[in-house]
Amino acid sequence: MLKFNIKSYLFNNKKKNKNYIKNIINDIYNYGDLSLIYYIKKIDGIYLNNINNIIIKKNIMKKSYFILNKNKKKILKELYIRLKNFHNYNYFNSWQINKKYIYGQKFISIDNICIYVPGGLIPYQSSIFMNSIPSIIYKPKKILMITPIKNGIISNLILSISYICNIKEIIFSGGVHTLSSIVYGTNYIKKCEKICGPGNYYITESKKILFGNIGIDMLAGPSELIILTDKYLNPNILLFDFYSQLEHDKNSLTILLCNNKKFLNHLYYYIYKNLNFQKNKKNIFFALNNSCLIFSNIKNSIEYINFFSSEHLMLCIKNANKIIKFIKNCGTIFINYKTSIAYGDYCSGPSHVIPTNKSCRYISSLNVEQFYKKISLIKNLKNLNLSLLSSYISKKENFFCHSYSSILRK
Amino acid sequence: MLKFNIKSYLFNNKKKNKNYIKNIINDIYNYGDLSLIYYIKKIDGIYLNNINNIIIKKNIMKKSYFILNKNKKKILKELYIRLKNFHNYNYFNSWQINKKYIYGQKFISIDNICIYVPGGLIPYQSSIFMNSIPSIIYKPKKILMITPIKNGIISNLILSISYICNIKEIIFSGGVHTLSSIVYGTNYIKKCEKICGPGNYYITESKKILFGNIGIDMLAGPSELIILTDKYLNPNILLFDFYSQLEHDKNSLTILLCNNKKFLNHLYYYIYKNLNFQKNKKNIFFALNNSCLIFSNIKNSIEYINFFSSEHLMLCIKNANKIIKFIKNCGTIFINYKTSIAYGDYCSGPSHVIPTNKSCRYISSLNVEQFYKKISLIKNLKNLNLSLLSSYISKKENFFCHSYSSILRK
């Protein structure tokens, strides 16, 4: 196993504490808009006298979409359609069965969805697509988007994408304070039923704390990638998949498995050699601490993959199809040499909001399911058997009123 | 609105504190079996020298099923089949599309499921059915059941039901300590990927704390029922639906809405009159504090129902079908006069593990979905457009390696 000898870096996570988050949540809960304004000043350094100043409505997005040049419109539309097509295959419908007695499930969309779009100097355009498009089948009454802005400059592109993705309202402020105002509601900000989308450590922690007051999609952590490769792919191509995963942020990681030592050593050399020429080398540099190259045969690699349960998995090997059936735990699989991880992040179809930190063992990446709920329906026509059954079991559980109420219905 | 004038009762919840739970979790995490034995002695008052003494394997369940008398077998089988039939309608399959490029989703069952079955002197038989049967389509590798026993007596029926429901292993110990040993695993107890099933305050709190290390179905609270009725149903029947909801436990509640004052007064009188003759009157007595009868017309009632978002909803009115489409937030709907709430609890089909405490606004009752995960698949065949798209957006997000890696794949 080849580790990268870069001086270990103390993660901020260790310093971060939950009480800080809880205090913010409590303040928002108690003082609403007032404390929201306070925290926006304190944390984002923006002075507001009115929350409405950071809320942008649909009509403004619409305008900025129409002044967008034709070519860009075309690209965005195509992206939209590609992603839409994928999620359309997840269409499930309400159903009802009329037998001796009637039962069924009513599929119904969740009312108000809030999507959290992280961002550095600008919000990530792709995250707007990836968070909102799975809702196209079960359209929520309202999609609200919250996103942090560092420099206060709002690009035309962001607004246009939001318009295409049918977002009703954008609040240009991120962080725990905005999130919790979505949960409890304020005079200016309407309550939401569910929050989707990844965020930093603070967002994830507060999502966990707030879960129960609001629905959440998943608890997202730093991004992960496992690459399983053989010697036939050009290391110079692989190199950039490796880098592109690490440039996300300092905590992201890539693990590369290969059954060829020579190839690994090549790659190892290239990774150091080209590091300096990368624009995001700072992130890559730190993220290399979490990454490694491992020499192992296919069989062990599969075991490792299922154990590690990573967010992304690239199968850059011959007849990758053959081993898919052995993969149990993984978010998204990229099959064959031609599939770059970037395709999955941006345009190929499935959402790039994928469970991390081993949680793909029990949860799926963001999809249509997250946007509807099922209401069960039961309607009894005269059916003696039903009442006998329920009265039998209920007596066993010492619930005598249950038993009696079902007998009365004979 | 008719409230019940019963001396208000101080809920234990107020006294309970999270640190107590966190300490238990930490101890289990650090000392495994040792601290599990310690807590079983401390909390359940049972002295064990070996965890295996409270673990029961499939073969023993099998035996106890075969010595069960024929009639009981028949009843259990019928229950099993009824519930199974309902969940079979939720069957979704993996899919894959071959266009310019290939994508799809692989539906795969979650490996190890742990179901928590609450219980007083005996575990609730119905909960075994309701928790395990939704897993029949995507069969987990192993279903483990944990359940508290107060008196140490294990009924033959429990074991037989567990056998029918295909449970591999039962641990006869409940509480936070057993739950957390499932999450972290010990020498005797194998880790699980997900925990399903409701529990008391302690279980719910620890589920929330442990969420992220293990998947959870939902955060269950006290049971809720809203009854919407008109004057045509005999109050003596309704009375027992009212009681049967309240006999669950002291914190459960029932709210009855009716547009007829005379009927309400009748019912109010009956509720007091018959209270003393109920076997579980203690629970009913306390639970009446949370309950009330409200006079309101249908229109307002529907608004109220959608706002309150209760676990159960009974529509004991003429043409109940007509108003179903107006119900947005609710766990399970019982339609028409003939459908007792007991049917839903025991035998009609849908699971009785239903979101409470307004969480049905964003989550569904326990169903097949909770037992599988979806792995996305992406396979690119030579497709110029894809790489152009992704490189365009990635540049906008300042992810240059992404952009480069997709261009290289041209």
C-alpha–C-alpha distance, residues A394 and A379, integer Å: 20
Which helix (H) or strand (E) segment holds residue B10: the answer is none
Q: What is the DSSP letter of B105?
A: E
Provide, as residue numbers in chain B, all residues whose Cβ is less than 8 Å from the Cβ of A389.
75, 78-79, 82, 346-347
Tally the residues of chain A: 410
A254 contacts A242 by C-beta, under 8 angstroms: yes
Provide, as residue numbers in chain B, all residues whose Cβ is less than 8 Å from the Cβ of A89.
95, 97, 104-105
Residue B9 scores a pLDDT above 80: no
pLDDT of B3 reads: 67
Min Cα separation A393/chain B (Å): 7
pLDDT of B121 reads: 67
Question: What amino acid is encoded at B302 in this protein?
Answer: I
Closest partner residue to B240 among A82, A90, A401, by Cβ? A401
Place A9 in a pLDDT band, splitting at 50, 70 and 90: very low
Mutation target for A interface from B302, B311, B348, B371: give the one with most A CBs within 10 A: B348
C-alpha–C-alpha distance, residues A66 and A60, integer Å: 10
Lowest mean pLDDT among A165-179, B97-111, B294-308: B97-111
pLDDT of B187 reads: 94
C-alpha–C-alpha distance, residues A92 and A368, integer Å: 9
Min Cα separation B286/chain A (Å): 16
3-state secondary structure chain A: CEECCCCCCCCHHHCCCHHHHHHHHHHHHHHCHHHHHHHHHHHHCCCCCCHHHHEEEHHHHHHHHHCCCHHHHHHHHHHHHHHHHHHHCCCCCCEEEECCCEEEEEEEECCEEEEECCECCCECHHHHHHHHHHHHCCCCCEEEEECCCCCCCCCHHHHHHHHHCCCCEEECCCHHHHHHHHHHCCCCCCCCCEEECCCCHHHHHHHHHHECCEEECCCCCCCEEEEEECCCCCHHHHHHHHHHHHCCCCCCEEEEEECCHHHHHHHHHHHHHHHCCCCCHHHHHHHHHHCEEEECCHHHHHHHHHHHCCCEEEEECCCCHHHHCCCCCCCEEEECCCCCHHHHHHCCCCCCCCCCCCHHHCCCCCCHHHHEEEEEEEECCCCHHHHHHHHHHHHHCCCHHHHHHHHHCC
Give me the mean pLDDT over the A137-162 stretch. 89
Token digits of residue A391: 């009265």
pLDDT of A121 reads: 67
Q: What is the DSSP letter of B381?
A: P
B305 contacts B226 by C-beta, under 8 angstroms: yes
Query: Is residue B98 packed enough to be buried (19+ CB in 10 Å), middle (13-18) or exposed (0-12)?
Result: exposed
Determine, for residues B378 and A409 on separate chains, whether the beta-carbon distance falls below 8 Å: no
Residue B100 scores a pLDDT above 90: no
Residue B14 scores a pLDDT above 60: no
C-alpha–C-alpha distance, residues A140 and A137, integer Å: 9
Which helix (H) or strand (E) segment holds residue B383: the answer is none
Residue A226 scores a pLDDT above 80: yes
Residue B5 scores a pLDDT above 90: no
Provide, as residue numbers in chain B, all residues whose Cβ is less than 8 Å from the Cβ of A194.
362
User: What pTM did the predictor assign?
Assistant: 0.93
Which helix (H) or strand (E) segment holds residue B190: the answer is none
C-alpha–C-alpha distance, residues A53 and A43, integer Å: 17
Cβ partners under 8 Å of residue B404, min gap 6: A240, A244, B391
Determine, for residues A400 and B247 on separate chains, whether the beta-carbon distance falls below 8 Å: yes
C-alpha–C-alpha distance, residues B361 and A215, integer Å: 8
CA angle B373-A295-A310, nearest 5°? 20
Mutation target for A interface from B373, B381, B385, B398: give the one with most A CBs within 10 A: B373
Provide, as residue numbers in chain B, all residues whose Cβ is less than 8 Å from the Cβ of A330.
375
pLDDT of A12 reads: 43
Closest partner residue to A240 among B101, B103, B405, by Cβ? B405
Provide, as residue numbers in chain B, all residues whose Cβ is less than 8 Å from the Cβ of A244.
394, 399, 401-402, 404-405
Between B36 and A15, residue with greater pLDDT: B36
**In chain B, what percentage of residues exceed pLDDT 70?**
95
Question: What amino acid is encoded at B183 in this protein?
Answer: V
**Neighbouring C-beta atoms of residue A48, cutoff 10 Å:** 16
Determine, for residues B376 and A332 on separate chains, whether the beta-carbon distance falls below 8 Å: yes
Between B106 and A120, residue with greater pLDDT: B106
Place A387 in a pLDDT band, splitting at 50, 70 and 90: confident
Q: Which residues pair with A373 in a beta bridge?
A: A108
Q: Which residues pair with A114 in a beta bridge?
A: A144, A195
Give me the mean pLDDT over the B112-123 stretch. 85
Q: Which residues pair with B97 in a beta bridge?
A: B103
Between A169 and B120, residue with greater pLDDT: A169
**A100, closest residue in chain B (CA to CA):** B348
Lowest mean pLDDT among A3-12, A38-47, B239-248, B345-354: A3-12
Closest partner residue to B247 among A278, A364, A401, by Cβ? A401
Provide, as residue numbers in chain B, all residues whose Cβ is less than 8 Å from the Cβ of A378.
332-335, 339, 343-344, 348-350
Residue B10 scores a pLDDT above 50: no
Determine, for residues A405 and B340 on separate chains, whether the beta-carbon distance falls below 8 Å: yes
pLDDT of A45 reads: 85
- pLDDT for B256-312, tens place per residue? 999 999 999 999 999 989 999 999 999 999 999 999 999 999 999 999 999 999 999
Phi, psi of A294 (to 5 degrees): -120, 135
Determine, for residues B215 and A157 on separate chains, whether the beta-carbon distance falls below 8 Å: no
Mean pLDDT (chain B) is 90
Determine, for residues A86 and B103 on separate chains, whether the beta-carbon distance falls below 8 Å: yes
Mean pLDDT (chain A) is 90
- pLDDT for A261-280, tens place per residue? 999 999 999 998 999 999 99
Give me the mean pLDDT over the B4-9 stretch. 48
Residue A13 scores a pLDDT above 50: no
Place A18 in a pLDDT band, splitting at 50, 70 and 90: confident
**In Å, what is the CA distance from B205 to each residue of A25, B11, B202, B388?**
19, 16, 5, 48
Mutation target for A interface from B378, B387, B408: give the one with most A CBs within 10 A: B378
DSSP structure string for B325-369: TT--S-SEEEESTT--HHHHHHTSSS-S----TTGGGT-PPS-GG
C-alpha–C-alpha distance, residues A221 and A192, integer Å: 23
pLDDT of B120 reads: 67
Residue B352 scores a pLDDT above 80: yes
Residue B226 scores a pLDDT above 60: yes
pLDDT of B25 reads: 96
Determine, for residues B386 and A348 on separate chains, whether the beta-carbon distance falls below 8 Å: yes
pLDDT of A368 reads: 94
**A311, closest residue in chain B (CA to CA):** B375
pLDDT of B16 reads: 58
Determine, for residues A359 and B212 on separate chains, whether the beta-carbon distance falls below 8 Å: yes
Give me the mean pLDDT over the A138-144 stretch. 95
Domains of chain B: 18-216 (3.40.50.1980), 222-361 (3.40.50.1980)
pLDDT of A120 reads: 67
**In chain A, what percentage of residues exceed pLDDT 70?**
95
Determine, for residues A97 and B89 on separate chains, whether the beta-carbon distance falls below 8 Å: yes
Provide, as residue numbers in chain B, all residues whose Cβ is less than 8 Å from the Cβ of A369.
369
Residue B13 scores a pLDDT above 50: no
B196 contacts B204 by C-beta, under 8 angstroms: no
Place A249 in a pLDDT band, splitting at 50, 70 and 90: confident
**B371, closest residue in chain A (CA to CA):** A362
A178 contacts A171 by C-beta, under 8 angstroms: yes
Q: Which residues pair with B226 in a beta bridge?
A: B255, B313
- Of B270, B216, B283, the C-alpha closest to B238 is B270
Place B207 in a pLDDT band, splitting at 50, 70 and 90: very high
C-alpha–C-alpha distance, residues A170 and A164, integer Å: 13
- pLDDT for A49-100, tens place per residue? 899 999 999 999 999 999 999 999 999 999 999 999 999 998 888 999 987 7
Residue A3 scores a pLDDT above 70: no
Closest partner residue to B401 among A103, A212, A280, by Cβ? A280
Determine, for residues A389 and B359 on separate chains, whether the beta-carbon distance falls below 8 Å: no
Give me the mean pLDDT over the B84-110 stretch. 90
Provide, as residue numbers in chain A, all residues whose Cβ is less than 8 Å from the Cβ of B284.
401
Cβ partners under 8 Å of residue A16, min gap 6: A201, A202, A205
A378 contacts A105 by C-beta, under 8 angstroms: no
Provide, as residue numbers in chain B, all residues whose Cβ is less than 8 Å from the Cβ of A82.
389
- Of B287, B45, B77, B259, the C-alpha closest to B165 is B77
Answer positive or negative: Cα dihedral of B50, B54, B57, B61: positive
CA angle B356-B358-B362, nearest 5°? 100
- pLDDT for A346-386, tens place per residue? 988 999 999 999 999 999 999 999 999 999 999 987 777 88
pLDDT of A10 reads: 37
Provide, as residue numbers in chain A, all residues whose Cβ is less than 8 Å from the Cβ of B370.
none
Provide, as residue numbers in chain A, all residues whose Cβ is less than 8 Å from the Cβ of B193.
361-362
Question: What amino acid is encoded at B188 in this protein?
Answer: Y
Closest partner residue to B402 among A89, A342, A350, by Cβ? A342
Lowest mean pLDDT among A132-146, A320-334, B114-128: B114-128
**A234, closest residue in chain B (CA to CA):** B408
Provide, as residue numbers in chain A, all residues whose Cβ is less than 8 Å from the Cβ of B125.
393, 396-397
Size of interface A-B (CB pairs under 8 A): 348
**ipTM of the assembly?**
0.93
Closest partner residue to A367 among B208, B363, B374, by Cβ? B374
Min Cα separation B307/chain A (Å): 12
pLDDT of B122 reads: 73
Provide, as residue numbers in chain B, all residues whose Cβ is less than 8 Å from the Cβ of A384.
none
